[in-house]
Amino acid sequence: MDRRNNTHVSDFILMGLTESEEIQLVLFIIFLIIYMVSVLGNTGMILIIHLDLQLHTPMYFFLSHLSFLDISYSTVITPKTLQNLLTSMKHISYISFFTQMYSFVFLGAAECFLLSSMAYDRYVAICNPLHYPVVMSKRFCCSLIFGSYFIGFTNSMINVLFMSRLDFCNSNVIHHFFCDTSPILDLSCTDTHGVEIMIFILAGSTLMVSLITISVSYLSILATVLKISSTSGKRKAFSTCASHLLGVTIFYGTMIFTYLKPRKSYTLGKDQVASVFYTIVIPMLNPLIYSLRNKEVKNALIRLMQNREDSRQLN
């Protein structure tokens, strides 16, 4: 009998992070709070940037798209995770599984190149300030945004096309809390060597190209800043990059730990913890990092609140 007739599965079972009901309840509360903060924080950032004219600059144009990606990113993963923490029925359909995987890869790859675009923006602003309005034109910024989404779309299409061709023989139980690549490869009875190489090349090239762009940009920024004679000038230059550097460090640190290593070294506990960071926690941290460490955003929020108060008094 043809093996493929026996290997197609209609759904998968996501086992989640733990089998303990008490811990599941605690995680549900924590993840729900994180998700609410993430959605409210990123939505707030988008609104502040949209409403305050002084924030209509390339840096905040990129930041608004980062907030959009973070909302989408956490919404793709967190609601299903919350549902599974409250119910014993942890099934996810075959189509829903690959839809979540497609969305996850698409948004993750797009965010990598968006972060590198933000680093290039800071490089031009600090190293070539006189040419900044010309170089970072609205058309060029839109091209960078389109390129980030297009690369994410291409990566996800190739990834899912390869993954969807796998056969599953013995089990449909996935020991993870979302539809990631490493756990699904463990279930396949097909030779996954070619798929593993493809995933490593795609993930590696996405992470490395964007990370090299960021590294070169910030090395150039560092060289320029060191040439500034005044301490206040150096502090001001570093302050414009500090938030982005912190966000990049957390995001790339967890992604590289998870994906740029052989699948044989995959460890359930450690990789799940890393996955929680870049799928659930980081979308919450980004608006906090870029608002609490950014005077322009704070001032914009104050201006909006004052304008609202003034309009109330006039009415």
pLDDT at 121: 93
Task: Find tokens 């029925």 and name the residue.
Answer: 89
Of residues 196, 211, 95, 113, the one with CA closest to residue 154? 113
pLDDT at 268: 54
Task: Among 232-241, 256-265, 287-296, 299-308, name the one with the lowest average pLDDT.
Answer: 256-265
Over the chain, what is the mean pLDDT?
83
3 CB-near residues (< 8 Å, 6+ apart)? 167, 169
248 has a pLDDT exceeding 70:
yes
pTM: 0.86
Per-residue pLDDT of 249-277, as tens digits, reads 888 887 777 666 555 545 555 667 777 88
Task: Among 16-20, 198-202, 218-222, name the one with the lowest average pLDDT.
Answer: 16-20
The domains found in the chain, sorted by start residue, are 11-314 (1.20.1070.10)
Per-residue pLDDT of 162-179, as tens digits, reads 887 887 776 788 888 888
pLDDT at 31: 92
